[in-house]
Structure formats: C-alpha cells, structure tokens
C-alpha cells in the first residue's frame, strides 16, 4: 500500500471535511499532523494536533516547525483544506471580510506549500491537494468574494501542478459541491442538508487520490451530490 507509513499535514482539521480526511488517513496507516485553531480531540498515536492560524505567516511557520519536530522533515502529503465563506451581496461585502477570506482560502495555500516544496523536491516525491469548491469553477450569487477566492485557488493549483510535476510532486484540485458541513449552518440553500454529500465520502475520494501510482497525476476532480433537490415528484 502506498499510504501506510507516510506522513501528512491536513489544515482545517477540527471539523467537517478536514476532520473526515484526518480520520480516513489514520485508518490507512498515515501519520497525520492536524492543523487548526481547535483541537479535534483525536486520540491516536499517529495523530498530532498542531495549533495553527492559517491567516498568519508566523503561526504557519511555527506549526511547520512543530510538525517537523514530531514527524521529521519528510512530509509526503499536504491537504490544504482550511477555508471559509462569508455570504454577502457584492456591494455589501466588507473589505475586512474580503481580506479574511483571501488570507484563509488563498494566501494560506501559498504560505504552507512553499515550506514543503523544497523537501518534496529533494525526496522526488509529494502530493499537494488543494480543496477548492464548485464556486472555483462557477460564479455563485451572494458569494462573489468567496467565489473569487476559489477561482484564485484554481489558477494557483494549475500553475503549481505545471511547475512541480517534473520534480515528482503531484498537485490536485478538488472541487466539492454542497456538502453537509458547518459551512451551511444557519444559511439558506437550495439543497436540503439530507441531499448534500457527506464529508466522509469527500474524504474517501481525497485519500484515493493520494493512493495512486507514482506516475499517475490526477488533475481537477469535481464532486457533486447526485440529486441535490431530491427525487423528482411524480
């Protein structure tokens, strides 16, 4: 098995898709550093909670040092999952909310990935997965700023892939549709929670992308609920 004994960093690890990815990786025998502001409370010898605020370069650098101290300098997988969305009409979007979303959704990918790429190049192996959103492929009414960040993630992911593939490093973009997580809590959505995808299914797909032949490079992967509105009425 490709995964067993490898080491991964997962950001946004305390809940939702990030937590599900951590649990799936641990089940496959991967050592995981879970970066988040809140401790998910996982009790596993192969798991280490690392306190991190991905909006802060200083916090990211400290989290990386703590990860290396725990697991060593070889990090095989990076799942850039941390993200947030603040709904607002375009003209009502607060500049501070715009900046918060870009720092979390886009800047963090740059700040974290740049720390890992040199050692991945040296090892001639690595896989970076950027968790984006369907909003990174289409505009979304009421989420202009969020959609802008996810479109930026798309461009960044594609460029990273083109630059790093010759060094044995895979870069994959994952674009989930509506998923039953805290993201939609208290928000109106056309897709009822029971018709959304489950975080554990997203996690299984992500881990399957990691468990691939060294010469197999998955690019953009869209994940969508089958019946977002439920079964049609007869």
Q: Tell me how far apart the terminal alpha carbons of the chain are, to the nearest angstrom.
A: 47
3 state SS of 170: strand
Of 111, 143, 146, 175, which one is the catalytic site residue? Answer: 146
Distance CA 172, CA 158 (A): 8
Q: Is 143 annotated as catalytic?
A: no
Residue among 23, 27, 29 nearest 6 (CA): 29
Residue 17 CB coordination number (10 Å): 27
By the 10 Å C-beta count (0-12 exposed, 13-18 middle, 19+ buried), 202 is classed as: buried
Closest C-alpha among 44, 160, 163 to residue 109? 160
Residues designated as active site: 146
């Amino acid at each position: 098995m490709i995964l067993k004994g490898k080491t991964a960093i997962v950001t946004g690890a305390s809940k939702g898709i990030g937590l599900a990815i951590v649990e799936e990786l641990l089940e496959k025998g991967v050592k995981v550093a879970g970066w988040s502001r809140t401790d998910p409370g996982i009790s596993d010898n192969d798991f280490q909670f690392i306190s991190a605020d991905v909006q802060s370069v200083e916090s990211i650098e400290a989290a990386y040092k703590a990860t290396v101290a725990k697991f060593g300098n070889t990090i095989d997988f990076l799942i850039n999952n941390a993200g947030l969305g603040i709904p607002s009409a375009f003209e009502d979007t607060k500049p501070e909310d715009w900046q918060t979303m870009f720092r979390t959704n886009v800047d963090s990918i740059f700040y974290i990935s740049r720390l890992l790429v040199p050692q991945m190049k040296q090892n001639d192996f690595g896989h970076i997965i950027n968790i984006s959103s369907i909003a990174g492929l289409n505009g979304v009414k009421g989420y202009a700023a969020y959609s802008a960040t996810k479109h930026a993630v798309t461009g960044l992911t594609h460029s990273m892939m083109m630059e790093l593939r010759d060094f044995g490093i895979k870069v994959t973009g994952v674009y989930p549709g509506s998923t039953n997580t805290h993201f939609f809590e208290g928000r109106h959505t056309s897709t009822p929670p029971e018709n959304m995808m489950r975080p554990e299914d997203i996690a299984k797909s992500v881990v399957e992308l990691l468990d691939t032949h060294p010469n197999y490079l998955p690019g953009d992967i869209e994940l969508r609920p089958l019946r977002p509105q439920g079964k049609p009425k007869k």
